[in-house]
Amino acid sequence: MKTWTDFDLAAIEPEEGAPLPERLIAGNPVFRTWNIEEAEGGIYAGVWEATPGKWCIVYDEWEYFHILSGHSVVTEEGGEPVHLRPGDRMILRPGFKGSWEVIETTRKDYVIRL
């Protein structure tokens, strides 16, 4: 049994989605998610991509991510905007509330723990 996994997106059919209508602020963003790993304990890893738009985000989970391409702006309620570009990393913790705005189609890899 193999005890490692690579991020071969060509071997995975992405799931498509969008923000919930009640969370949409601007635009018509479309999401594509390549779920690569689902491990015991509610841990997920994969790649996510979104086209331009802006929506409200509310985190019940813990997430680490690394921006692979594009430009996005994450803003916590009452906080300053954080511009994210390739190479940037961030951790969002449970209880985070704010907005995610995609300026230029953005792709990130992620690890989520529920």
- pLDDT tens, per residue, the chain with 114 residues: 789 998 899 999 999 999 999 999 999 999 999 999 999 999 999 999 999 999 999 999 999 999 999 999 999 999 999 999 999 999 999 999 999 999 999 999 999 999
For residue 6, report the phi and psi dihedrals to the nearest 5 degrees. -100, 170
Q: What is the pTM of this model?
A: 0.95
Identify the CATH homologous superfamily for domain 25-113: Jelly Rolls (2.60.120.10)
Q: Provide the pLDDT for residue 14.
A: 97
C-alpha distances in Å from residue 81, one per residue of 76, 101, 106 = 7, 10, 16
Q: Do the beta carbons of residue 107 and residue 70 sit within 8 Å?
A: yes
Among 69, 62, 22, which residue's Cα sits nearest to residue 43?
A: 62
Q: Provide the pLDDT for residue 2.
A: 86
For residues 64 and 41, what is the distance between their CA atoms, to the nearest angstrom?
A: 16
